[in-house]
């Protein structure tokens, strides 16, 4: 099972889409506060997120709380547009941690300094970034493809 981590997500619809992806790919979702929205039944129902009850999700009050429970820091992959290595060059395995930053600025320098594995998603120079839900889908898709090949 993959672990998908969103550090300080800001947009509820993106988090909802990523939650749906996690349910569909049998991945765990880890959400690190603060959020730019409130997760409650009213907001989930309004967004039509009826699958949320099936989501394996854990919330953390801060990055330090999340980091303390990671068993193997070498299996944490941070996504950054500033990284030189593509996610297509990484070798993923079950239990890996795929970490994405907030929509407006990505991962902070402090979070990036905590782990060595930084990956980027190749893209045209005509755009600044991909939508975070699309980014998560790219990386999860490749990781699941690799894991499936190694079974």
Give me the pLDDT at residue 51, please. 82
Query: What pLDDT sits at residue 42?
Result: 66
Is the previous residue joined to 34 through a cis bond, with omega within 30 degrees of 0?
A: yes
Q: Is 135 helix (H, G, I), strand (E, B) or coil?
A: helix
Q: What is the pTM of this model?
A: 0.93
**pLDDT (tens digit per residue) in 20-62:** 999 999 999 999 999 887 776 666 555 546 788 899 999 999 9
Q: Write down the pLDDT at residue 13.
A: 85
| Helix, strand, coil tally for the chain in percent (to 5) | 40, 20, 45
> Model confidence over 91-122: pLDDT tens digits?
999 999 999 999 999 999 999 999 999 999 99
């Amino acid at each position: 099972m993959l672990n998908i981590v969103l550090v300080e997500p800001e947009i509820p619809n993106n988090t909802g889409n990523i939650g749906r992806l996690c349910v569909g790919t049998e991945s765990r979702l880890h959400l690190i506060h603060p959020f730019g929205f409130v997760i409650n039944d009213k907001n989930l129902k309004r967004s039509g997120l009826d699958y949320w009850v099936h989501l394996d999700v854990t919330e953390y009050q801060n990055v330090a709380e999340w980091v303390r429970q990671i068993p193997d820091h070498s299996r944490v992959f941070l996504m950054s547009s500033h990284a030189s290595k593509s996610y297509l060059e990484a070798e993923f395995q079950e239990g890996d941690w795929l970490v994405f930053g907030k929509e407006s600025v990505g991962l902070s320098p402090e979070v990036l300094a905590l782990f060595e594995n930084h990956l980027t998603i190749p893209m045209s120079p005509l755009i600044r970034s991909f939508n975070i839900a699309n980014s998560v889908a790219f990386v999860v898709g490749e990781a699941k493809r690799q894991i499936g090949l190694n079974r």
